[in-house]
């Protein structure tokens, strides 16, 4: 028995960018936050008392 594939051709291709973006956006957000924290530690060290 074959698995049912109910995707229409247009729907499948329209959902590919959404699928890619749903994985890419959190990765980019995580990379940006790691950059911000790393930059803070580089500039101020581990002294978080002067966090603005």
- Residue 34 and residue 2: Cα distance in Å, rounded? 44
pLDDT, tens digit (0-9, with 9 covering 90-100), for 10-30: 656 668 888 888 889 999 999
Query: Under DSSP, is residue 33 helix (H, G, I), strand (E, B) or coil?
Result: helix
The DSSP output letter for 4 is P
Asked if pLDDT for residue 32 goes beyond 80, the answer is yes
Higher pLDDT, 6 or 24: 24
Asked if pLDDT for residue 1 goes beyond 60, the answer is no
């Amino acid at each position: 028995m074959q698995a049912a594939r109910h995707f229409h051709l247009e729907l499948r291709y329209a959902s590919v960018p959404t699928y890619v973006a749903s994985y890419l956006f959190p990765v980019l957000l995580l990379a940006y936050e790691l950059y911000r924290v790393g930059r803070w530690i580089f500039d101020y060290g581990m002294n978080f008392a002067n966090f603005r």
